[in-house]
């Protein structure tokens, strides 16, 4: 099996890869033929089609939907639309883009916009989407920078998705949401409830701002309103459990030693930390203590220092209360998800479709479950979705090949069973397709039920 001799792919793929500094030979990038093969045989068009059509059949939600291609040449082609699942697949295969993106449903068929007056093309609906990207965590990440990720910093995404998901479900009452790995260093959340699809931009903006707790912390006082709003309180409860693990141990943002230069990132981060401390005397006391430290001083010890020094410095109960509140704010400041507001606000914003291949890494943009590991790899069961071992095009091509090789070896087996098996089911893509299929099925069931109810209602008249 090729899996056994799997190259150390994740490490290679996930190393520095930004468009300026990369040396192309360094890593595997899917070729045009790889993509062609993937579109023809592996990409589960059926589920993407049903997901966007909200039905097993083609509806206006699908036929009036904009798709955009990013071509190998770098050209970006907007306003494609398709009549059916077959047309969808045929067009993508023949265009063979490096990736395709999903846009809004319009009043008219986007493909035909040239034959129509300019203002006829109006966006009507689109999934509500959220985008978290690890590059936005660069100021607090110490493990990686830029486009790199590792299992340490992915934990930020993990806890972030938990926060966003619980707010969307519990506060806004959405049910049908799916998380998709963006292929390199982030995740997208698609919310497909009819109510979410029909939100206007003002409401989308309000929802993102509701979620965007960090921007309420900007400004002079760097404080969140107390008592915390229920959403903030719930988020804090998620975060406090992981703070020691993710920030104090994994990231070590405040790690210093006597040789750490005073302009190092760690000191900037320490100043950042101190700026939260409400009492000026405590601030300077802590700063002096840490500056004078000769040995290695970890983030964990600094975090504990705050309480130790406070016991000496703070006089009143009120000061203690304020400090405790500030410490809660610090935890939120360091770990709360950083959101891309524009992606969520604009109805016409395009976003890479699930199951696309990230052109730079070859990773499949697989839908995943942020709460549990679905990869069938028991090593990740404690971790959850692991982006460093998630399916990669090269890997699944090899898997498909070896599956076929093993089939042809014992070709005396009955053929019809293998015929029925979809190609992606022969690879490690299977659990992710199943996860997505279940999501799509639940969505369609709900849509059909709502449609039936509407029809019943109209019959009453």
Partner 1 sequence: MFRQVKRKTAGRRNFEDVSSSSSGDKKGGADLISQLNNIYQSRLTFYDIPPLEEITLEEFENWSIDRLKLLIEIESYGARSKSIKDIEVALRPLLLKYLPMNGNSSDGKINPTLYQERKKDHYSHFILRLVFCRSEELRKKFIKNEGILFRIRYNLLTPKEQEDFLMSNSHRLHWKFISQEEKLANFDQLYNASNLIIKNHLLQEGIGSEITNEQVKQHIKFKENFIKLPFEKVTNLINSRSIFLKGGYAYIPTSLQLNLIVTEFQDNLNTILLRTFQTLPRLEEDDRILPLLNNLGLNFSNIQYDTNNFGSDDTNDINAQSIQTPEILQHYPLCARILQKQLSFNSHLKYGGRQQLGLFLKGIGLNVDEALKFWSQQFLKKINQEKFNKEYKYNIRHNYGLEGARINYKPWDCATILAKAKPSKDEYHGCPYRDLSVNNLISNLNELGIEDQHQINEIMDDVDKRDYSIACTRVFELTHQKELKASSGAVAESMHINHPNLYFDRSRQLERSMEKKKEISV
Binding site for partner 1 (CB under 8 A): 170-174, 195, 199, 202-203, 205-207, 209-210, 213, 216, 225, 227-233
Q: Least Å distance between CB 160 and partner 1?
A: 18
| Catalytically annotated residue among 61, 70, 101, 131 | 131
| Rounded-to-integer distance, Cα 373 and Cα 378, Å | 8
Query: Is 380 strand, coil or helix?
Result: helix
Query: Is 391 strand, coil or helix?
Result: coil
168 or 178: CB nearest partner 1: 168
| Catalytically annotated residue among 61, 101, 127, 133 | 133
Q: Least Å distance between CB 174 and partner 1?
A: 8
171 or 434: CB nearest partner 1: 171
Whether the CB-CB separation of 9 and 410 falls below 8 Å is answered with no
Q: What is the DSSP letter of 111?
A: G
Q: Least Å distance between CB 209 and partner 1?
A: 4
Query: Is 173 strand, coil or helix?
Result: coil
| Catalytically annotated residue among 66, 165, 279, 329 | 66
Q: Least Å distance between CB 163 and partner 1?
A: 14
Q: What is the DSSP letter of 339?
A: B
112 or 442: CB nearest partner 1: 442
Q: Which helix (H) or strand (E) holds 367?
A: strand 367-368
Q: Least Å distance between CB 216 and partner 1?
A: 8
Can you give the three-state secondary structure of 64-102, one letter per residue? CEEEEEECCCCCEEEEECCCCHHHHHHHHHHHCCCEEEE
Q: Least Å distance between CB 225 and partner 1?
A: 7
| Rounded-to-integer distance, Cα 309 and Cα 330, Å | 17
Residue 133 annotated as catalytic:
yes
| Rounded-to-integer distance, Cα 425 and Cα 125, Å | 33
| Contacts of 75-80 spanning 24+ positions with Cβ under 8 A | 78/103, 78/110, 78/350, 79/110, 79/111, 79/113, 80/110, 80/111
Show the tokens assigned to 161. Answer: 């998705």
60 or 231: CB nearest partner 1: 231
Residue 340 annotated as catalytic:
no
Residue 410 annotated as catalytic:
no
6 or 171: CB nearest partner 1: 171
46 or 169: CB nearest partner 1: 169
Catalytic residues, which ones?
A: 66, 131, 133
């Amino acid at each position: 099996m090729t899996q056994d001799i799997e190259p150390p792919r994740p490490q290679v793929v996930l190393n520095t890869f930004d468009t300026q500094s990369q040396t192309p030979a360094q890593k595997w990038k899917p070729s045009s033929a790889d993509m062609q093969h993937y579109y023809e045989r592996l990409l589960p068009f059926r589920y993407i089609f049903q997901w966007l059509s909200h039905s097993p059949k083609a509806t206006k939600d699908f036929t009036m939907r904009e798709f955009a291609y990013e071509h190998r040449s770098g050209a970006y082609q907007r306003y494609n639309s398709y009549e059916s699942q077959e047309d969808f697949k045929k067009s993508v295969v023949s265009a063979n883009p490096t990736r395709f993106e999903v846009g809004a449903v319009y009043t008219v068929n986007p493909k035909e916009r040239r034959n129509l007056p300019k203002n006829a093309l109006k966006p009507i609906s689109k999934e509500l989407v959220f985008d978290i990207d690890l590059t936005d965590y660069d100021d607090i990440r110490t493990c990686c920078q830029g486009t790199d990720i590792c299992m340490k910093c992915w934990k930020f995404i993990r806890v972030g998705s938990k926060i966003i998901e619980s707010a969307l479900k519990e506060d806004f009452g959405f049910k049908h949401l799916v998380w998709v790995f963006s292929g390199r260093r982030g995740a997208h959340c698609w919310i497909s409830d009819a109510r979410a699809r029909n939100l206007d931009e003002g409401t989308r903006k309000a929802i993102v701002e509701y979620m965007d707790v960090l921007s309420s912390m900007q400004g002079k006082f760097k404080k969140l309103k107390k008592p915390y709003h229920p959403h903030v309180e719930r988020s804090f409860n998620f975060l406090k459990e992981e703070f020691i693990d993710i920030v104090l141990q994994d990231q070590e943002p405040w790690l210093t030693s006597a040789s750490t230069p005073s302009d190092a990132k760690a000191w900037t981060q320490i100043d950042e930390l101190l700026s939260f401390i409400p009492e000026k005397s405590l601030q300077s006391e802590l700063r002096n203590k840490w500056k004078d430290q000769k040995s290695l001083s970890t983030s964990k010890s600094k975090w504990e220092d705050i309480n130790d020094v406070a016991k000496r410095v703070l006089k009143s109960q009120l000061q203690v209360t304020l400090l405790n509140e500030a410490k809660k704010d610090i935890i939120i400041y360091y770990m709360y998800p950083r959101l891309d507001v524009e992606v969520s606000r604009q109805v016409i914003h395009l976003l890479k479709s699930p199951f696309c291949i990230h052109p730079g890494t070859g990773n499949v943009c697989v839908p995943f479950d942020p709460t549990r590991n679905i990869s069938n790899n028991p090593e990740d069961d404690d971790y959850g979705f692991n982006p460093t071992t998630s399916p990669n095009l090269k890997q699944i091509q090899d898997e498909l090949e070896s599956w076929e090789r093993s089939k042809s070896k014992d070709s005396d087996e009955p053929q019809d069973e293998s015929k029925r098996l979809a190609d992606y089911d022969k690879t490690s893509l299977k659990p992710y397709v199943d996860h997505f299929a279940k999501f799509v099925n639940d969505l369609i069931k709900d849509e059909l039920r709502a449609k039936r109810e509407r029809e019943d209602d109209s019959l009453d008249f």
